[in-house]
Amino acid sequence: MTVAQSDRIYFENADQLKERQIMAENETNGGAQGAAQNQQTAQAGPAAAVLAQYVKDLSFENPNAAKVFQALSNPESPKPAIEVNVNVGARRMGDEAYEVDLKVTATSKVGEDTAFAVELLYAGLFGARNLPENMIEPFLLVQAPHILFPFARRIVADTVRDGGFSPLMLDPIDFAALYQQQRAAAAQQQPQQSGATSLGEIDLGEPQGNA
């Protein structure tokens, strides 16, 4: 699904969102009626704010350190093989709040020995206002993980480096293309091809924490 330019969501941080709302409330051009009209205009369009970003879980294992580093020092040893998987999940946290998880797992092997295994669960809390129903899914599975990914990428690289290996620089991910592919496959009722990145774990039921 291609998101038209007119459907793009305006992103602002929490401070900008609050400041814009205050300015709209204090607008006096044209009297109270003008202020009300300006405030209504400011709040009419779809908008989203990144309220918080955080590490939910991070683990690093280096089970065969001495053996692996000895092997890596040997020019005749096989090159490390690395497998990376990325998964996106989302859930509703309130009327206008969503949590988006970006889970990254990476495993490196030298021959049959595991060199390292890193797992990161990085998340963001997003505020969203006036989003049409057809924009919620692409917002959660495309725009939100696109914002989170550079931060998760840096954490993974630093963690692997601190474990004694060369930093693992994850390749950029085109979340929009992945979303379009999965939507097309779903429309044709075809099973999704197995890949390193998966989208689609969304829980839009009752906000968590509510009875």
- CA atoms of 153 and 2, how far apart (whole Å): 26
Asked whether the CA dihedral 185, 191, 196, 200 is positive or negative, the reply is: positive
Residue type, 55: V
> What are the residue boundaries of the structural domains of the chain, listed by start?
12-44, 46-203
Query: Pick from 32, 15, 36: which is nearest to 24 by CA?
Result: 36
Residue with tokens 């090159």: 79
CA distance 53 to 69: 35
| pLDDT over 70 (residue 72) | yes
113 pLDDT higher than 60: yes
Provide the CA 69 distance to its chain's centre, in angstroms.
33
How far is the C-alpha of 128 from the C-alpha of 130, rounded, in Å?
7
| pLDDT value, residue 6 | 35
What mean pLDDT value characterizes the chain? 79
Fold of 46-203: Bacterial Protein-export protein SecB (3.10.420)
For the segment 5-55, what is each residue's pLDDT rounded down to a tens digit?
Answer: 334 444 555 555 555 555 545 554 544 555 455 555 455 677 888 999 999
**What is the predicted pLDDT for the residue at 115?**
95
Residues 6+ apart with CB under 8 A from 62: 68, 115, 116, 163, 164
- pLDDT of 8 reads 44
Residue 124: per-residue pLDDT: 98
Q: Which residue has the higher pLDDT, 183 or 160?
A: 160
Q: What are phi and psi of 169, to 5 degrees?
A: -95, 105
pLDDT digits (tens, 9 = 90+) for 176-204: 998 888 888 878 875 555 455 656 655 55
Q: pTM to 2 decimals?
A: 0.72
Weakest-pLDDT range from 30-39, 67-76, 127-136: 30-39
Strand 47-61 relative to strand 10-13, pairing: parallel
Q: Assess whether pLDDT exceeds 70 at residue 155.
A: yes
pLDDT score recorded for residue 74:
87
CA distance 132 to 134: 5
CB 48, CB 127: distance < 8 Å: yes
Residue 80: which of 165, 194, 172, 197 has the closest Cα?
Answer: 165
More confident residue, 70 or 16: 70
